[in-house]
């Protein structure tokens, strides 16, 4: 069969063709609409993306104070590409920053854009009137001096205590002087508490080790008696964890000052606070007439089919189990 011949295009066909560019979707609007939409965008990445759409969006996104009250989070690719100049430009767009977080910044990033804004001192101070959280995680070019200068510049240490920082994170930054940690603590509304159950809620994540170095919370071990701090490496010869329930740590010097209560089945110890949660009552051994603490760690209690708080207790004096 002979191939079918195509009908040649007529003038009418050519006039009905539509330029493909006319069908390309666009997000361009006038400046007032762009500003209204932009006010509802909260994510830093999305705001920076909108600035690349058109000149109108760029004008709205880069105007001084155009971001209003906002959180600035630069992590992932944004964190890896941040520079001091780019941070400077971003901060000028903000009217009030409540949460500032930068992660994994290159070593060339020193954070000087925080306080060295060249002629914009008043705007800079206003931009952080509501600052609650400041995090520089794994920013190896940022020093404690830079952060402290920034906090002084915005008057954080002089603010009423209940309006200061709720959270300060500097793990992975350069700590030139451990003495400056006390000045950084003066910028907190909540005192640093190592024994907070949820370590993520501790207001400040840096501690001075007894060996002289500075470590973060997840490398630190604090003695429950003297409150001296030990790093994981220094802890090996300096003390030990003794509580099976909360992993409490005691240094060698305080060992005799701390009460340790062994579990009746596995002989693992509990600290006094955990003991208070696990003691049900006490009883008297029928054999030696000594008082028996009714204590079981969670693990041992879970192994029992039934916990009989009247009969199943091991006497620490004679080793018998009550009948």
Query: Partners of 261 in the beta sheet?
Result: 270
H or E element, residue 35: helix 31-38
Query: For residue 311, what is the DSSP state?
Result: T
Answer yes or no: is 26 within a domain. no
User: Does a structural domain hold residue 190?
Assistant: yes
DSSP letters for 234-303? HHHHHEEE--TTT--EEEGGGGGGS--EE-TTT--EE-HHHHHHH---EEE-TTT--EEE----HHHHHH
Choose among 54, 35, 38, 58: nearest CA to 46.
38
Per the domain annotation, does 69 fall within a domain? Answer: yes
- Could you tell me if residue 267 is inside a domain? no
Predicted local distance difference test score (pLDDT) of residue 88? 85
pLDDT, position 306: 44
3-state secondary structure of 201: helix
Structure tokens at 184: 């950084």
Q: Judge whether 262 lies within some domain.
A: no
Alpha-carbon distance of 113 to 109, in angstroms, equals 9
Q: Give the residue from 258, 296, 290 showing the smallest Cα distance to 277.
A: 296
Per-residue confidence (pLDDT) for residue 39, from 0 to 100: 72
Q: Read out DSSP for 69-88?
A: EEEEEE-HHHHHT--HHHHH
Q: Is residue 252 part of a domain?
A: no
Token pair for residue 116? 């060295």
Helix%, strand%, coil% for the chain, nearest 5: 35, 20, 45
DSSP annotation of 304 reads S
pLDDT of residue 82: 93
Q: Whole domain around residue 77: which residue ranges?
A: 64-206
Distances, alpha carbon 20 to alpha carbons 8, 24, 28, 30, 184, in Å: 22, 7, 18, 24, 59
Residue 130 lies in a domain: yes
What's the average pLDDT block by block, 10 residues per block, for the chain (323 residues)?
56 50 57 73 77 75 73 92 89 85 94 65 63 95 92 91 95 89 94 86 92 88 89 79 82 85 67 66 53 56 49 46 43
> What are the CA-CA distances from residue 319 to residues 261, 280, 323 (Å)?
16, 20, 13
Q: What integer pLDDT is reported at residue 53 of this predicted model?
A: 76
Residue 226 lies in a domain: no
User: What total of structural domains would you count in the chain?
Assistant: 1
How high is the pLDDT of residue 104? Answer: 95
Q: Are strands 133-137 and 214-216 parallel, antiparallel or unpaired?
A: unpaired
pLDDT at 169: 95
Pairwise CA distance, residues 113 & 274, whole Å: 47
């Amino acid at each position: 069969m002979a191939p079918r011949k195509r009908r040649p295009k007529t003038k009418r066909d050519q006039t009905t063709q539509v330029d493909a560019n006319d069908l390309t979707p666009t997000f361009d609007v006038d400046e007032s609409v762009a500003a209204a939409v932009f006010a509802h965008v909260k994510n830093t990445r999305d705001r920076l993306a909108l600035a690349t759409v058109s000149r109108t969006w760029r004008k709205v996104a880069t105007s001084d104070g155009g971001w209003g009250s906002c959180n600035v989070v630069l992590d992932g690719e944004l964190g890896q590409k941040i520079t001091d100049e780019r941070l400077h430009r971003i901060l000028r767009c903000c009217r009030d920053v409540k949460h500032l977080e930068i992660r994994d910044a290159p070593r060339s990033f020193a954070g000087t854009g925080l306080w060295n804004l060249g002629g914009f001192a008043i705007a800079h101070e206003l931009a952080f009137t509501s600052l609650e959280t400041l995090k520089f995680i794994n920013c190896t070019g940022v020093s404690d001096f830079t952060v402290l200068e920034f906090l002084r510049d915005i008057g954080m240490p002089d603010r009423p205590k209940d309006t200061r920082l709720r959270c300060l994170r500097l793990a992975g930054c350069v700590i030139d002087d451990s003495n400056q940690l006390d000045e950084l603590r003066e910028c907190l509304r909540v005192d640093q508490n190592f024994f907070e159950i949820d370590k993520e809620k501790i207001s400040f994540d840096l501690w001075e080790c007894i060996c002289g170095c500075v470590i973060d919370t997840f490398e630190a071990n604090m003695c429950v008696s003297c409150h001296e701090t030990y790093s994981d490496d220094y802890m090996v010869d300096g003390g030990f964890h003794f509580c099976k329930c909360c992993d409490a740590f005691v240094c060698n010097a305080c060992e005799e000052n701390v009460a340790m209560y062994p579990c009746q089945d596995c002989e693992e110890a509990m600290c006094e606070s955990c003991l208070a949660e696990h003691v049900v009552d006490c009883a008297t051994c029928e054999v030696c007439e000594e008082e028996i603490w009714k204590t079981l760690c969670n693990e041992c209690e879970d192994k029992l089919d039934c916990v009989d708080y009247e009969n199943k207790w091991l006497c620490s004096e004679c080793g018998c189990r009550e009948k």
